[in-house]
Amino acid sequence: MSRQFLAEGLELSGGDRGVVAVVAVVALAALAVGYVLLREVLAAGQGTPKMQEIATAVQEGAAAYLNRQFRTLAPFVVIVFVLLFALPADDLNERIGRSLFFIFGAVFSASIGYLGMWLSTRANVRVAAASKEEGGREKATRIAFRTGGVVGMMTVGLGLFGAAVVVLVYSGQAPKVLEGFGFGAALLAMFMRVGGGIFTKAADVGADLVGKVEQGIPEDDPRNAATIADNVGDNVGDCAGMAADLFESYAVMLVASLILGTAAFGAQGLLFPLIVPAIGVITAVIGVYTTKARVGENGLAAINRSFYISAVISAVLCTVAAFTYLPSSFANLDGVTDEIKGTSGNPALIAAIAVIIGIVLAGVILWLTGYYTGTEHKPVKEVGRTSLTGAATVILSGISVGFESAVYTALVIGAAVYGAFLLSGSVVVALFAVALAGCGLLTTVGVIVAMDTFGPVSDNAQGIAEMSGDVDGEAAQILTELDAVGNTTKAITKGIAIATAVLAATALFGSYKDAITQSLAKVGSTFDNADFVAFTPNVLVGLIIGSAVVFMFSGLAVNAVTRAAGAIVFEVRRQFRENPGIMDYSVKPEYGKVVDICTKDSLRELATPGLLAVLAPIAVGFGLGVGPLAGYLAGAIATGTLMAVFLANSGGAWDNAKKLVEDGNHGGKGSDAHAATVIGDTVGDPFKDTAGPAINPLIKVMNLVSVLIAPAIITFSIGADASTGIRLSIAVVAVAIIVAAVVISKRRGTAIADSPAESVANGAS
């Protein structure tokens, strides 16, 4: 079914609008539940005055960074808004809606990220205080998880409400308008992921190298000038960045589902992808409220149990919804082509199985990632054991874990995609099934966000406890255990996030082909499958470029952390050298200087990876054509999947191997083995919290850019408006901007300056 037909012919009946209205009400109910959880978290005790003082410093630093980041990104958002408005569209109404909802997507993504930061910086001190109370483990676990529950409810609420409003207002034009909504969400999430990741890991690496390795003081010792910046970074990187990331995953998955759903199932295909996440709201509430650690129980066991409970309930309810709402024959679908009506199979059964595939995928990735990054499993224990022979073997074993886990994760995701694709002989319906698998996976997104936020909140709680000196004994051990659990939950959510990226990208790939087909029809041409054959040289070149961009993006992110961390190392060293009183607590470190260096460096580094993500597909598409751009997307998806999982799981394994040693294994804290695992953890920091997570929104940004520019590529390639000069000029300009950005970035250098003063000046410039 063409987009032209959808725009002009597909209107929602009164009953259909009623369904969408119910979905919107469910979305608002999610926001209400989030508010109730918010009140519960803020009602908890805040501990001692010293703990509150440290928490306030973290709150102020995090808020200042995000406010500054949003001001930096505002002009970029305005520029993209104008460019989106200039792109071809079926009519002015669609063009205005697409550009306007790009702003809404960006604002919603930023709002979710800001909320994640704001609440996490207030929950951390409450988790630390709860650890000292009776039943401390259970209370601290509940507060940390329900903090994430607030962000999870806001994520599903805003995402679902935004999509429902677009469908109500635009009906058949909704998928095209939602492309702008998803693009805005993905673009902001990528910037927040990159910027926050650079900030948090620059501070973390600098704090570890000088504090733990050189000075031999604990990780969150108040004498280390980088500790406040480290805690600020956890919130702007993990909380704000991941919250925005999962929101855009949610939004983009809805976009892909609605685009393909209208082509496959007509009006019912436009609405069913809204019904599935609405069910997810219900199961998310159940998941959050059933997460209660039993006495003496490991927090991860309680979290996993609630996840599986919500997943099973989602599977049952979505199956019921599929057989209740969808017909048993394609012939009974309204508003679809004769070709679709003649398709064999049961739409309700196909939809139900597809959703279940996505839910099962989430569960398998949860188990698989937990196995490779959890302290109780063999891979992390093996990495910890290699610390007895030095840092080199720790790094090698962690890399091995990352490579191996990436293979199995990619195979599992590939099996899910292929399984969903096999549900129908019709390519259009099969692609819709893949999109529904993504919707099924995201029925658990409320719990997934809660799991992710749990990690940095627990990490910050331990940091506040250690810096204040007001928590010791069993309470300190509780916080150490929660921090280790948080490392695993963060790795799990990153694995699930990349799975959603692959499912969304696969579905958007179908949308990209549809955009090309319809644009060709407008200029009197037809789609040639030969243009997409992988063994043709031009498509293969595009595939290679797509893979290369993922490597370049990852390298830029890691180099950015290296540069910023170098400046932090010299600043912290300077403070120790010039103020000897820091070590005996008679002089207070200058925390603000480190926060300022991290802020300036992270914001300075935002431009290059952002420009690469947006302009690379433009350069390939206008320069080489729609076939090579398809190859580019395939290369980026495949390489991005493996790279993201490798980086995330290597980093997670190194981090928890360090926790194992700090718990007393292989010599414990202060031993040579501990120093070796600290080095491994330091290497893994930009892997798991900067480059790896940013690949997830990168893949979706590039796919959405490709879908959006496809009609323009066709316009300048074929028909009355064809112009090779204009087309190639656009490609040349895009390449020139990318090259200039990369050259400027590389000129900053990664080498640490010989002079400490020079290095600090460079880092703070």
Report residue 544's pLDDT band, with 50, 70 and 90 as the boundaries: very high
What is the per-residue pLDDT for 755?
42
Q: What is the mean pLDDT of the chain?
A: 84
What is the per-residue pLDDT for 758?
42
What is the per-residue pLDDT for 765?
35
What is the per-residue pLDDT for 236?
81
Highest mean pLDDT among 97-101, 234-238, 514-518: 97-101
**Residue range 161-167: average pLDDT?**
87
Residue 745 has pLDDT above 50, yes or no: yes
Encode pLDDT of 56-72 as tens digits: 888 888 888 888 888 88
Query: What is the amino acid identity at position 364?
Result: V
Encode pLDDT of 351-368 as tens digits: 999 999 999 998 898 889
Encode pLDDT of 425-438 as tens digits: 888 899 899 999 99
What is the per-residue pLDDT for 254?
82
| Residue pair 140/303 in contact by the 8 Å Cβ criterion | no
DSSP line for 133-187: STTHHHHHHHHHHHHHHHHHHHHHHHHHHHHHHHHHHHGGGHHHHHHHHHHHHHH
CB atoms within 10 A of CB 407: 12
Angle at CA 614, nearest 5°, toward 611 and 616?
A: 90
Residue 207 has pLDDT above 50, yes or no: yes
What is the per-residue pLDDT for 206?
82
Encode pLDDT of 10-58 as tens digits: 667 778 889 889 999 999 999 999 999 999 999 988 888 888 888 888 8
Q: Parse the chain into domains and list their residue ranges.
A: 3-764
| Contacts of 312 by beta carbon, 8 Å cutoff, 6+ apart | none
Residue 593: φ, ψ to 5°: -65, -40
| Residue pair 150/38 in contact by the 8 Å Cβ criterion | yes
C-alpha 174/C-alpha 1 separation (Å) is 15
Please list, residue by residue across 680-718, b when 16 or more beta carbons sit within 10 angstroms of its beta carbon and e when fewer do.
Answer: bbbbbbbbbbbbbbbbbbbbbbbbbbbbbbbbbbbbbbe
**Residue range 366-384: average pLDDT?**
88
DSSP line for 663-682: TTGGG-TTSHHHHHHHHHHH
CA of residue 451 relative to chain centroid, distance: 13
What is the per-residue pLDDT for 720?
66
Structure tokens at 645: 């999982």
The DSSP code for 294 is P
What is the per-residue pLDDT for 2?
37
**Residue range 257-286: average pLDDT?**
87
Using CB atoms within 10 Å of the CB of residue 345, give its burial: 0 to 12 exposed, 13 to 18 middle, 19+ buried. middle
C-alpha 359/C-alpha 348 separation (Å) is 17
686 or 509: which leads in pLDDT: 686
C-alpha 415/C-alpha 418 separation (Å) is 5
319 or 208: which leads in pLDDT: 319
**Residue range 369-389: average pLDDT?**
89
What is the per-residue pLDDT for 749?
56
3-state secondary structure of 720: coil
**Residue range 164-176: average pLDDT?**
82
Residue 271 has pLDDT above 60, yes or no: yes
What is the per-residue pLDDT for 232?
83
**Residue range 231-251: average pLDDT?**
79
Residue 648 has pLDDT above 70, yes or no: yes
Residue 502 has pLDDT above 70, yes or no: yes
Long-range CB pairs of 599-602 (<8 Å, 24+ gap) are 599/64, 599/65, 599/68, 599/199, 600/763, 600/764, 600/765, 601/198, 601/199, 601/202, 601/560, 601/563, 601/564, 601/567, 601/763, 602/65, 602/69, 602/195, 602/196, 602/198, 602/199, 602/202, 602/560, 602/564
**Residue range 382-408: average pLDDT?**
94
Distance separating the N- and C-terminal Cα atoms of the chain: 55
Report residue 751's pLDDT band, with 50, 70 and 90 as the boundaries: very low
C-alpha 101/C-alpha 166 separation (Å) is 8
Structure tokens at 467: 């810096």
C-alpha 392/C-alpha 372 separation (Å) is 20
Residue 529 has pLDDT above 60, yes or no: no
Residue 547 has pLDDT above 90, yes or no: yes
Encode pLDDT of 415-462 as tens digits: 999 999 999 888 889 989 999 999 998 888 888 888 888 888 888 888
Encode pLDDT of 297-331 as tens digits: 777 788 888 888 999 999 999 999 999 999 999 88
Residue 132 has pLDDT above 80, yes or no: yes
Residue 388 has pLDDT above 90, yes or no: yes
Highest mean pLDDT among 487-501, 638-652, 716-730, 741-755: 638-652
Kindly report which listed range (242-246, 291-295, 632-636, 739-743) carries the lowest average pLDDT score: 291-295
| Residue pair 490/653 in contact by the 8 Å Cβ criterion | no
What is the per-residue pLDDT for 534?
58
Residue 756 has pLDDT above 60, yes or no: no
Count of alpha carbons within 13 Å of 380, Cβ hemisphere only? 28
